[in-house]
Amino acid sequence: MYQDKTLTCKECGNEFVFTAGEQEFYAEKGFQNEPQRCKACRDARKNASKTQREMFTTVCARCGKEAKVPFQPTSDRPVYCSECFAAIKEQQ
C-alpha cells in the first residue's frame, strides 16, 4: 500500500527516505503532512530547546564510589550511585 519516498530536508538540503512504515505510522496518528526535516535535523531541533541539566559530583553513601546526580546533595540525606540506588529499589 505505501511505498518508500525520497524527500529533501528543508533544513540541510539532504535527501532522506520516508519509509513505508513511517508513512503507515503517520496515517495511524492522523498526520496530514509529510516530514520536512531528516531525522538528524529533527533530533537537533528537538534537543536545541532542551536545557542541559547541571550534574553534581558526590560520594555514594553505600559503596563509597563517585556518583553524579542531577541535584545539589545536602548533608541531611544519603545519596547513592545508580547501581546502589537500583539495588535499594529492588529490595523494597
How confident is the model over 34-61, as pLDDT tens digits?
999 999 999 999 888 777 788 999 999 9
How many domains does the chain contain in total?
Answer: 2
Q: Do 44 and 10 have their domain in common?
A: yes
What pLDDT does 78 receive? 93
- What residues make up the domain containing 81? 56-91
The closest of 5, 7, 8 to 21, measured between CA atoms, is 5
Residue 30, pLDDT above cutoff 90: yes
Q: Do 60 and 25 have their domain in common?
A: no
Residue 91, pLDDT above cutoff 90: no
Q: Do 40 and 64 have their domain in common?
A: no
What pLDDT does 14 receive? 97
E strands, 1-92, in order? 5-8, 15-18, 56-59, 66-69
Q: Do 71 and 44 have their domain in common?
A: no
Q: Do 16 and 40 have their domain in common?
A: yes
What pLDDT does 48 receive? 85
Rounded (10°) CA dihedral 42, 44, 49, 52:
140
Pairing of β 5-8 and β 15-18: antiparallel
Q: Do 13 and 39 have their domain in common?
A: yes
User: Quick one: which H or E segment has residue 41?
Assistant: helix 39-48
Q: Do 31 and 61 have their domain in common?
A: no
